[in-house]
Amino acid sequence: MKKVELESFLKSFIIFFVSMGALIGTIYYINHMKEIQTLDERVFSEMRICSFDLACEKYKINFVLTQDRELYRLYKTPQALSSYFAIPNSTLNSMEIYYPVEKYNLELKEILKESLISLFFAMSAVLIFSILFSLYTLYPLRNALHLTQEFVKDILHDFNTPLSTLRLNASMLDKEGIKSAKISRIQKSVQTILNLQENLRAYLNNTALQKEELDLGELITHRLEILSISYGRLHLQNRVAKRVVFTNRDAFTRIIDNLLSNAAKYNKEDGTVEVYMEDRDNVLCIKDSGKGIKNPAKVFDRFYKEQDIGIGIGLHIVKKLSQELGIELKIKSAINQGTTFYLKLS
């Protein structure tokens, strides 16, 4: 089950289970209070019968002064349940029939036990129905996601032929000594589309979490060399020495490529891109002198962008891959001063 499917399943399950559970719980609470009321009424009825024949082993009998006590009413005290009844030919005294609170509490516990057992089975049934309901509501979403992903994969595949043709012809013109700013722009545009393809593939596919040893310094050097071909005006600095990390090569490379690409794409003329390590905290930093980001908190949201270029999924993919690799990702940015991404490696 993919993350978006799991999220949809959990939300449907929680809403259905909590709402149904609250309804069932309320019904059982009302029913439990009615059962207590029924018990009190039964106790009082038995006391009334006892007041006539005095043949009641369950209850205790006492004779007290009537005073201000109301007759034929059930009283509850911390010691007992009691009721007072008139004595023929006597106005000063009344008969008290009472039920020790210990015995009453035993009956209450038995009622509560039966209610909890019934509630447990009812909530178990609600749990099963909630799971089935959530799976049922998830089915259309799963089909829609599958169709969308297949459609995008087909389009990405169909892009390969025209992109390869464009790339090949541009390279041939370059080899023939034809230098032109237009040809250079074509090559950059083709590379941008290829990067977009890789981003979409990374977004659609689950990351293979097979990890291996990776020389971080060597990787950064190689990726900066590739970046310098398209952004020769930038000052690229790699201050990461040889360092071995244990991670998934493809996913980690995709993270670095996206961050470096953004650092170059949104930089100023003759700007800098600097990559370095904060050794104390094992944090890889990618810093640029670019335009900065207005809303750093939203930058990882899907389809969020502050510039006209791009479609706003690059940094969302970075966040997704970082989570899968156990990398803590943070950002610090200021308008017209630049942006720094911090990757705390596990």
The token pair that represents 201 in the structure block:
């593939």
Question: Could you tell me the residue ranges of all domains in the chain?
Answer: 3-135, 210-344
DSSP 339: E
User: What pTM, to 2 d.p., does this model score?
Assistant: 0.51
The mean of the pLDDT values for the chain is: 84
Written out in words, the top-level CATH class of the domain with range 210-344 is alpha beta
Q: Worst-scoring range by mean pLDDT, 65-69, 104-108, 261-265, 287-291?
A: 65-69
pLDDT in tens, 122-169: 999 999 999 998 888 888 877 877 777 777 777 766 776 777 777 777
Q: What is the C-alpha separation between 191 and 189, in angstroms, rounded?
A: 5
Q: Residue 317: exposed, middle, or buried by beta-carbon count in 10 A (0-12, 13-18, 19+)?
A: buried
Distances (CA, A) of 323 to 5, 215, 241, 345: 17, 21, 25, 11
* Angle of CA points 82, 86, 87, to nearest 5°: 115
Q: Assign 1 a pLDDT band (cuts: 50, 70, 90).
A: low
